[in-house]
């Protein structure tokens, strides 16, 4: 008689079953573990050090840490910063000490390490320093901003990259042909169109690829056993793009957009703009950044850029989607193709720094208003010349700087766009000032 209540083997996701057990089964990150690479040499020489694995989800951070422990015969301990605190850190360290007494070393893997606060991160330091544990922290965020300097100084940072399409294709083949851990016993195959679509939808994330594949395998027709485009479309649907509104991916994409505009490439700028929208970015944030681009990258070479950027911002606020996004796209293209000048941006920064060092000088008397009799008697505004009363509305030789500061030239117009004419005018006014100074 069958025991209806007999326990079955617990379900294990395909992505977990296919975790590599040796370096030869590990796909991707050749820049770290390829022949002759630093991390590969550390493994071969059994000389592991504390390190930080920095990279997006699904690129093999946990798997690589497990392999390092396996290859160097170290005890593998893992904790997650999401569910752990100082208590769990102490418990892990105590296990490591017991292993140390028995002559074994311990690799302590801390997932999502950036979620630990400063005190929790500091708790690792003594045990990293004295060699109780080989510390490996995994993070999707930039360690420079999220981890303590003390922990960073004791660890080497390794940047893991998204898996290439070639690596994902290898993983997909293994998943479909592995009879023991994969889906080999199901006899599935995949046509080329579906394969390419599935790989692209995974966006460099091996876990996402295998999760999609496992779901697809559940409803592929028994009579065919071939994964086709319609199967992929049903599961993938509207793929969730990688876009973290407060993390590295956010800043990387807005940086790419800004640089494309600066580089006068409207097509690349539109690509990054659409990527951000597709990932859920607030269009009003992009609108604000376009205003910044118009001022910083174009400036007075084409002042109309700033007006168009502000108009697009207002359209987005008034009308929303989709009219607003179209106006933002128009502004992005205009600013991208406009003549470029960062002369105002540079002048502003230089002026700020100059004021920081020389910002306590008094306003000269001739530049002060004199609304009272007493101020007039003290000479306020006495020697001031009203420029509109002079030829060309310009007062040659009149100074507008504090008396004890030499005149500076922060603004250097670029030889492009409207600033060509601005430069000509400034040169003419400068010559008139010099002539007035010589005659006086």
Domain annotation for the chain: domains and CATH numbers: 29-159 (3.40.50.300), 165-236 (1.10.8.60), 248-337 (1.20.272.10), 356-439 (1.10.3710)
**Predicted local distance difference test score (pLDDT) of residue 288:** 94
Cα-Cα end-to-end distance for the chain: 118
Sheet holding 51-54, edge to edge: 75-80, 106-111, 134-139, 51-54, 156-159
Task: Tell me if the bond preceding 322 is cis, omega within 30° of 0.
Answer: yes
Element (DSSP H or E) covering residue 255: helix 248-262
> What is the rounded distance in angstroms from the CA atom of residue 350 to the CA atom of residue 344?
10
**Predicted local distance difference test score (pLDDT) of residue 5:** 46
Which of 103-107, 125-129, 219-223, 334-338 bottoms out in mean pLDDT, i.e. has the lowest? 219-223
In tens, the pLDDT along 77-121 reads 999 888 888 788 888 888 888 888 888 888 999 999 998 888 888
Q: Is residue 307 predicted with pLDDT exceeding 90?
A: yes
Dump strand ranges (E) for 55-155: 75-80, 106-111, 134-139
Higher-scoring residue by pLDDT: 120, 168: 168
């Amino acid at each position: 008689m069958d025991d209806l209540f007999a326990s079955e083997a617990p379900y294990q996701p395909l992505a977990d079953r296919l975790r590599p057990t040796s370096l030869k089964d590990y796909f991707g990150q050749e820049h770290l573990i390829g022949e002759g690479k630093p991390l590969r040499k550390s493994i071969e020489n059994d000389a592991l050090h504390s390190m930080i694995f920095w990279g997006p989800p699904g690129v093999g951070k946990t798997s690589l840490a497990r392999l390092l422990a396996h290859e160097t015969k170290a005890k593998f301990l893992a904790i997650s910063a999401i569910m752990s605190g100082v208590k769990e850190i102490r418990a892990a360290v105590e296990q490591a000490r017991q292993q140390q007494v028995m002559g074994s070393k311990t690799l302590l893997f801390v997932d999502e390490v950036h979620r630990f606060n400063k005190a929790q991160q500091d708790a690792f330091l003594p045990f990293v320093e004295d060699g109780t544990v080989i510390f490996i922290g995994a993070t999707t965020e930039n360690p420079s901003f999220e981890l303590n300097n003390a922990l960073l100084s004791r660890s080497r940072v390794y940047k893991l990259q998204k898996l290439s399409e070639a690596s994902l294709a290898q993983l997909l083949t293994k998943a479909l042909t592995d009879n023991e851990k994969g889906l080999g016993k199901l006899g599935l195959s995949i046509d080329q169109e579906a394969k390419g679509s599935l790989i692209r939808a995974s966006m460099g994330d091996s876990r996402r690829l295998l999760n999609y594949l496992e779901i697809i395998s559940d409803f592929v027709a028994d009579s065919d056993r071939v994964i086709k485009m319609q199967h992929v479309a049903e599961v993938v649907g509207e793929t969730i793009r990688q876009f973290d509104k407060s993390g590295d991916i956010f800043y990387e994409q807005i940086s790419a957009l800004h640089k494309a505009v600066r580089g006068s490439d409207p097509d690349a700028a539109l690509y990054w703009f659409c990527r951000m929208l597709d990932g859920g970015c607030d269009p009003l944030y992009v609108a604000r950044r376009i205003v910044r681009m118009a001022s910083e990258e174009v400036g007075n070479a084409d002042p109309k850029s700033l007006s168009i950027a502000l108009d697009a911002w207002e359209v987005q606020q008034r009308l929303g989607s989709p009219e607003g996004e179209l106006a933002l796209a128009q502004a992005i293209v205009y600013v991208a193709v406009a003549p470029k000048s960062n002369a105002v941006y540079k002048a502003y920064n230089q002026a700020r720094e100059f004021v920081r060092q020389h910002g306590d000088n008094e306003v000269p008397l001739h530049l002060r208003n004199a609304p009272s009799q007493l101020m007039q008697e003290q000479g306020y505004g006495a020697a001031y010349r009203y420029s509109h009363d002079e030829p060309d509305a310009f007062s040659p030789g009149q100074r507008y700087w504090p008396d004890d500061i030499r005149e500076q030239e922060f603004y250097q117009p670029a030889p492009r766009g409207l600033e060509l004419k601005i430069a000509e005018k400034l040169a003419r006014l400068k010559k008139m000032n010099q002539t007035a100074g010589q005659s006086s």
